[in-house]
Chains A and B, each alone.
Chain A
Amino acid sequence: MSRPSETFRPLLRVRELSVRFRTRGGRDIAAVSEVSFDLAAGECLALVGESGCGKSVLASALLGLLPANARTSGSALLHHPARDAAPGPAGQDRPLDLLAADEATLARTVRGRRVGLVPQSPAAHLTPVRTVGSQLAEIVRELKGLRGKELAEATLAAAARAAFPADHLDRCPHQLSGGLAQRAATALALVGDAPLLLADEPTTGLDRELVERTVDELRAHTDDGRGLLLITHDLPAAERVADRVAVMYAGRLVELAEAGPFFGAPGPRHPYADGLLAALPERDFVPVPGMPPELGDLPDGCAFAPRCARAGAECAQLPVPSDGVACHHPVTTGRSVSASGRREGSTA
């Protein structure tokens, strides 16, 4: 909605990103296949899909946190945000390929500094035996090089930025509620002023009110000019804050769409995305039949075909993404644009 359209300069440009895991049996697990997308500053892209579809592997790949048996291909170019780059000629901004960068570069210049991670399950992300204040101070010291009184002040400011109450800084993680633990983790991610935030299922296990507050806070940081990649299976949360939605199925992006049309009218175009939305309790509450395929044993053609009511002979061929949808038979039935949402219409 609020996309800077005049000169679309992506913060992150991912092209043909694939991740393969080699298992001990010699089998290849295709966790992520040929994923391409752009993310601009000030934009929130929600990556949605069933558990085990490769969403979190994608996030790990962008941070160089994959295990040793993973092999990646493609590129993920991280650009400097426009405000840092001099307005001079091109070439000032040399992007960094996150997939090709070595561990030292990632550790010293990327993680926390250029890419902030808001983790899944903050309670597990925080060190259990140290107070939030000491963990936050450590990050501020490492990233900003502050000491003494300045450090204490900067730590307080860092806590305030994520709306973490100052009087809770001397508490250990187990003394915090889920919402406060989430804010503590967000505060850690924001310290380095990273222009790109990766939020990996930041709302799992939180109640609806906290989910909304958490994603609203992430959205506020996005509106400050950061790019946010929100990985989630919580569709209502994605609908609340996302500018664009990327739907992942069996390691591939099957649909990339503007959030407004996707959640509203005319609705999603890929049959899987359509089924996923229809499964919501506020909609049809009907599951997509079957289960996601094994990532180690994917068919040559469309991976969704065995579960798809619209599948035909063409689906034995891998669909080429066009106009944001990778499907031979996208959902096009004329649906009523009523405010009450749609009920029938998706079952062709």
Chain B
Amino acid sequence: MTAAPHPALELREITAGYQRRAPVLRQVSLSVHEGEAVGLLGPSGCGKSTLAKVAALLHRPYAGTVRIGGEAARGWRHRAPRAQRTAVGVVFQQPRLAADPRLTLAALIAEPLRATVRAAEAAGRAAELAEAVGLGGDLLGRRPHEVSDGQLQRACLARALALRPRVLVCDEMTAMLDASTTAALVAVVEDYRRRSGAALLAVGHDRTLLERWCDRTVELDQQSGTRRCTAALRSAPRAPADTTAG
């Protein structure tokens, strides 16, 4: 279908869940190509967050393969090889649960940089990221309890972009946020993708949002993922994302 030899992210026949006898997902397949934005829709409890975790190498499936840039995943969570682990950036739904309360926002954003040897350039890159997501001034010196959900989610997005991931997974990134912050964060993601050509898997239940944001949307079935994904190709109009956040 596409000219690219390998999809940026390929999930093939994934069976995953939390009880081996009753997996949440059964044989679900999904591909996201270089530079493509795919929206994954489904009602709550259908397993879309589980699929996002599998795609981000954060949850080991019972069966199936995950390929990132054509290369099969060789480990999960901390056992994933660094090159694969850092190729995927993740933004979760609840920034409060995804942020270490002891870190300042500046440290939060710089954490992946400090963990990956590039300590020297960490400060400069962190400042650049903070500016891209519209965080500035004294906000960066604050800890999570001193900022709003929207501001904290901006920091979490900056953190996800810190290592320049080839694939970005946004699991309900904006479900907690108001319309304006949602539009601002989507603009940041699209700006990054336009410059880097990264692929996007956006998980959510807001059909209007995902159809506006993504190139195509895929629906996960109601029956607890027992059926395969019914991929519906839609030509959703892309957002006029020329606005830079803040």
Asked if B177 is an interface residue, CB under 8 A from chain A, the answer is yes
Contacting pair A208 B207 (CB below 8 A) = yes
User: How many Å lie between the Cα of A235 and that of B182 in the bound state?
Assistant: 12
A/B pair count, beta carbons within 8 Å: 98
Residues of A within 8 A of B175 (CB): 204-205
Partner of B181, one of A50, A178, A205: A50
Asked if B148 is an interface residue, CB under 8 A from chain A, the answer is yes
Residues of B within 8 A of A50 (CB): 148, 150, 178, 180-181
Q: B172 — nearest CB in chain A belongs to which residue?
A: A205
Chain A: interface secondary structure? loop
User: How many Å lie between the Cα of A304 and that of B26 in the bound state?
Assistant: 50
Q: Mark A218-250, 1 if CB is under 8 A from B, else 0.
A: 000000000000000101100000000000000
Asked if B186 is an interface residue, CB under 8 A from chain A, the answer is yes
Contacting pair A207 B212 (CB below 8 A) = no
Contacting pair B212 A206 (CB below 8 A) = no
User: How many Å lie between the Cα of A318 and that of B240 in the bound state?
Assistant: 34
Contacting pair A286 B240 (CB below 8 A) = yes
Residues of A within 8 A of B183 (CB): 279-281, 285-287
Residues of B within 8 A of A208 (CB): 205-207
Asked if A84 is an interface residue, CB under 8 A from chain B, the answer is no
Number of interface residues of B (CB under 8 A): 36
Partner of B245, one of A49, A281, A287: A287
Number of interface residues of A (CB under 8 A): 33
Q: Which of A111-119, A148-156, A288-296, A321-329 contacts B (4 or more CB under 8 A)?
A: A288-296
User: How many Å lie between the Cα of A204 and that of B149 in the bound state?
Assistant: 13
Asked if A59 is an interface residue, CB under 8 A from chain B, the answer is no
User: How many Å lie between the Cα of A208 and that of B187 in the bound state?
Assistant: 22
Residues of B within 8 A of A204 (CB): 175-176
Residues of A within 8 A of B50 (CB): none
- Residues from 8 to 49 in B contacting A, C-beta threshold 8 Å: 43-45
User: How many Å lie between the Cα of A86 and that of B246 in the bound state?
Assistant: 56
Query: Which residues of B are interface residues toward A (Cβ below 8 A)?
Result: 43-45, 93, 134, 148-151, 172, 175-184, 186-187, 205-209, 211-213, 239-241, 243, 245-246
